[in-house]
Chains A and B, each alone.
Chain A
């Protein structure tokens, strides 16, 4: 095992000196996992999605991870990491697009079993005709699994969010999985400057006995619903269990809010929020919006930016307050369905102000000019 000193999360995140590296998003994943004190990683490394899990395998070979193997498919991988997490170890995996869909059954299962798994999702189109290129539509399917969902803008965000996700997920009062989402290709394959902490430090190990459910190790029998599902005994008991447990799982995500604020500096990030026209975006749509807003400024038009970092829990109150005076809120998205604009419409007053677009999908790059033309249109009105 390479020598690594355990440091406090706060030291890793803020105080540790950082070195700038010119690396891809996939390499940023490797660097985060290298410092995350991960016990086990399981992969189904479909290459076009990204090289991230190959690279995690490389650091297993270097001794940074205790156990690693390749599962037979994504469903098997997500089931295997569930088993590992139930056994009380820190686990990491990643998937994307069709892989996410294949494994979908496991995500609500993780949440219900209170497993603090960190999974990275590198978004990719899921529809036919086939595309391996970025599209955030899979996120729409995951909004109601109960897991925490963070969306990275770039490789730097991805590196930081993966490390912080473990700490947020493993809080006793939270203890549910965190999905860290980044757009395939635009983040995973893009080479950019990323500032990383020294490789000779790592996060404190996971404490399995801090879990709100008994860890399933050699000392403990499986917890009640695992060894003997209620529904096989009594509907009355089953309904009663669901009535409390499903609310408890939702409450766990709510209890993540202060930790997301503490470690990520908030569920959203805002620039120039006084402007009449606001742009709300997540992931690569933030990058394109930044460019569009800079182009608008050169034309003398001011627009504000809301970058959404946490989708679950959703920053409903923050968005309602921030958008109170805006004439229009433009929501550019890299998917066909416009799920982020739907989410926003549900929380803001006078939802007609939500401009549900522009949108691209199937792997297309959104030209910043498309966002710029919306900014121009609503700034003039």
Chain B
């Protein structure tokens, strides 16, 4: 069980939490690891809480469903924390000792004294970076926020390889085979319409991921 990394992604509907998890799981599989990916959401609605769970391991994974005890928590929108738009309260409930948190934000998330103490006891690490800002500046669209989040994850954890993630991205957006619900398909179309060619979409998204590194800041408790 120690060989397994459990990643919980919390965000808002439309931010690409499900897509990010899909690409990450696919990349892990390409890297020769075992992965399961599952989303959890209520009604399929923009800005409603949406979560995805990615388990990555060297061995077969049995456990299913929500990740209650994550090693890594990724927060795609500051409102997940400030408005409680997630499936657990506080947002880091269940975080394992030595766990990591990656938060999308221009500034450090506001934490209460109790929360700081709890995180310190866990020996947790909290990083933040302006994922949406980078998505807009480098990728030309806030729809690439999820790519920036993945970039931050790879930068900090090296959980998957850059070639693995490049291939997974090409598979998700390159071919015509991917099956999505109507709302996801509409977002895909919106994303593709921002770029002249699919190859441009892939390059820009990779650029977003790789731009994250220098912007990562750590919060100390």
Contact = CB atoms under 8 A, between A and B. Distances in A.
B38 interface: yes
A366 interface: yes
Contacts of B179: 26-27, 51, 54-55, 58
A298 B65 contact: no
Nearest to B26: A22
Contact of B181 (A47, A288, A290, A294): A47
B22 to A, nearest CB: 6
B64 A190 contact: yes
Given A22-B26, A27-B179, A298-B1, A186 B37 contact: no
A193 B29 contact: yes
Interface string A157-194: 00000000000000000000000000001110111110
Contact of A291 (B43, B63, B181): B63
A132 interface: yes
A228 to B, nearest CB: 46
A295 interface: yes
A196 to B, nearest CB: 14
B68 interface: yes
Interface in A12-63: 22, 26-27, 47-48, 51, 54-55, 58
A287 B63 contact: yes
Contacts of B63: 287-288, 291, 368
Which of B26, B62, B65 has the most chain A CB within a 10 Å cutoff? B65
Most buried by A among B42, B64, B182: B64
A291 B62 contact: yes
A310 interface: no
A133 interface: yes
A298 B1 CA distance: 10
A284 B66 CA distance: 12
A365 interface: yes
A168 B179 CA distance: 30
Nearest to B28: A22
A232 B199 CA distance: 70
A190 B37 contact: yes
Contacts of A132: 42-43
Nearest to B21: A191
Nearest to A50: B181
Contacts of A294: 1, 62
A258 interface: no
B37 A191 contact: yes
Interface in B28-84: 29, 34-40, 42-44, 62-66, 68-69
A189 B37 CA distance: 8
B151 interface: no
Contacts of B34: 193
B191 to A, nearest CB: 20
B65 A284 contact: yes
A205 interface: no
B189 to A, nearest CB: 17
B14 interface: no
A58 B177 CA distance: 11
Contact of B62 (A48, A287, A364): A287
Nearest to B68: A367
Contacts of B38: 185-186, 189-191
Nearest to B1: A295
Interface string A129-140: 000111000000
Contacts of B69: 367
22 contacts: A22-B35, A27-B179, A47-B181, A48-B44, A132-B42, A133-B40, A154-B64, A185-B39, A185-B40, A190-B64, A191-B25, A191-B35, A192-B37, A284-B65, A287-B62, A287-B63, A288-B62, A290-B62, A364-B66, A365-B68, A366-B65, A368-B63
Interface of B: 1, 22, 25-26, 29, 34-40, 42-44, 62-66, 68-69, 179, 181-182
Interface of A: 22, 26-27, 47-48, 51, 54-55, 58, 132-134, 154, 185-187, 189-193, 284, 287-288, 290-291, 294-295, 298, 364-368
The 8 nearest A-B residue pairs measured at CB? A365-B65, A190-B38, A290-B62, A365-B66, A191-B37, A291-B63, A186-B64, A287-B64
Given A133-B40, A190-B38, 5 more contacts: A26-B179, A185-B40, A191-B22, A191-B36, A367-B69
